[in-house]
C-alpha cells in the first residue's frame, strides 16, 4: 500500500542520488484540445501562484510540440512486471515523422533502492542523459502525495528500426544493465496494446514557478490523443533540477510539495482517475 504524507513537513531532506523532482497530476481530457482552455489553465495557475506567494513567469508565446509516443514490451509484459519501462518518442515535423527517435529506459518503483539498483547507462556513441527522479503524484484523496523513484536513461537519435520488431535480447548491447535482470530475452518486442495504441502528444509550456531563488520549476501540460479523435488524458506537471546549490533548500522543496497539494484542491473536479500515463496505456496500476 502506498505511504501517505501525514504532515506538510514530511519531507525532511532529499536523497543525495536525486537529480530531478517532477510533480504530475492527471486531468480529465475535456476541453484540452481547445486553445482557450489552455490559456485559462495558464491564468488559473498564475493566480494560484500569486495567492501562494510564488512568482509565476509566463512565456512570450505558448507553442506546442507534437510527437508520437508508445511503449515497447514483450507479449507478457515482462519489462513492466520487473518495474522496467521502455518508452519511444518520435518527433514530428508537420505531417512527417522523423527516422530517429528518443528512447527512454527506466526502472520505476516506490522503493528508492530498487529503482537505483538498475544500471540504465547505455553503451553507445549516441548522446544520452541519466536522471534519477523523484516523481510526486496524487494518491487517493485530494491533497495526498505518493512518491515514486525512477532511474532513467534518455537516448537521443536512435534509429527507429532498433526498437521495432526485434527480440528483447537485441536491446542488451544498447542497455547492458538489462542482462542483470531475469527476463525472457528470446521473446519479441511489440508496441504495448498493439500498433494502434500509439499516442499523439501535444506538449505546451505554461510557465516557470519560482519556489526560491535557486529552485525554479518548468510547468507544462501534456495532452495525449489517439491519432484521430478527442483527447485521451491531460497531465499537468512541473519539474526542476536538483543540484548542489539547491539540494539543501528544504523549505523550497516543501513549498513545491504544498503547491502540488493546492493544485489538487483547485482542480479537484478536473482530476482524472489513475496516477501515470504509463499505467493507463498498460491498463494496470503503477
Closest CA to 252 of 212, 204, 281: 212
Q: Report helix, strand and coil shares of the chain as percent, to nearest 5.
A: 25, 35, 40
Q: Model confidence over 16-27: pLDDT tens digits?
A: 999 999 999 999
Question: Strand 55-57 to strand 146-159: parallel, antiparallel, or no bridges (unpaired)?
Answer: unpaired
Mean pLDDT over 105-119 rounds to 96
Asked whether residue 236 carries a pLDDT value surpassing 60, the answer given is yes
pLDDT average, residue stretch 245-250: 95
How much is the pLDDT for 217? Answer: 98
Q: Where are the domains of the chain?
A: 20-282
pTM of the model: 0.89
Query: How many Cα atoms occupy the beta-carbon half-sphere of 251 within 13 Å?
Result: 5
Q: What is the pLDDT of residues 33-74, one digit of tens each?
A: 999 999 999 999 999 999 999 999 999 888 777 889 999 999
CATH class assigned to 20-282: mainly beta
| CA 151/CA 141 separation, integer angstroms | 27
CA dihedral 143, 146, 151, 153 (to 10 degrees): -40
Q: How many CB atoms neighbour CB 47 within 10 A?
A: 12
The confidence score (pLDDT) of residue 226 equals: 81
Q: Between 143 and 65, name the one with better pLDDT.
A: 143
Strands 20-27 and 128-137: parallel
Amino acid at each position: 500500500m502506498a505511504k501517505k504524507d501525514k504532515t506538510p513537513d514530511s519531507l525532511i531532506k532529499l536523497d543525495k542520488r536525486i537529480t530531478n523532482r517532477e510533480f504530475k497530476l492527471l486531468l480529465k481530457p475535456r476541453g484540452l484540445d481547445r486553445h482557450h482552455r489552455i490559456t485559462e489553465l495558464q491564468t488559473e495557475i498564475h493566480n494560484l501562484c500569486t495567492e501562494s506567494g510564488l512568482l509565476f513567469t509566463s512565456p512570450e508565446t505558448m507553442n506546442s510540440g507534437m510527437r508520437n509516443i508508445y511503449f515497447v514490451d514483450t507479449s507478457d509484459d515482462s519489462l513492466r512486471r520487473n518495474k522496467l519501462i521502455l518508452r519511444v518518442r518520435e518527433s514530428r515535423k508537420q505531417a512527417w515523422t522523423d527516422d530517429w527517435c528518443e528512447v527512454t529506459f527506466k526502472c520505476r518503483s516506490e522503493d528508492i533502492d530498487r529503482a537505483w539498483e538498475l544500471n540504465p547507462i547505455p553503451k553507445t556513441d549516441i548522446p544520452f542523459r541519466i536522471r534519477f527522479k523523484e516523481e510526486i503524484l496524487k494518491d487517493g484523496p485530494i491533497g495526498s502525495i505518493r512518491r515514486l523513484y525512477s532511474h532513467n536513461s534518455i537516448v537521443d537519435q536512435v534509429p527507429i528500426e532498433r526498437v521495432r520488431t526485434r527480440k528483447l535480447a537485441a536491446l542488451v548491447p544498447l542497455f547492458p544493465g538489462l542482462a542483470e535482470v531475469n527476463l525472457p530475452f528470446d521473446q519479441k518486442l511489440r508496441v504495448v496494446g498493439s500498433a494502434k495504441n500509439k499516442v499523439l502528444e501535444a506538449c505546451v509550456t505554461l510557465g516557470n514557478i519560482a519556489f526560491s531563488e535557486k529552485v525554479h520549476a518548468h510547468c507544462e501540460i501534456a495532452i495525449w490523443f489517439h491519432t484521430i479523435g478527442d483527447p485521451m488524458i491531460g497531465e499537468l506537471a512541473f519539474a526542476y533540477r536538483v543540484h548542489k546549490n539547491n539540494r539543501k533548500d528544504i523549505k523550497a522543496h516543501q513549498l513545491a510539495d504544498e503547491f502540488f497539494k493546492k493544485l489538487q484542491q483547485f482542480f479537484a473536479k478536473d482530476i482524472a482517475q489513475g496516477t501515470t500515463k504509463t499505467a493507463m496505456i498498460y491498463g494496470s496500476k503503477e
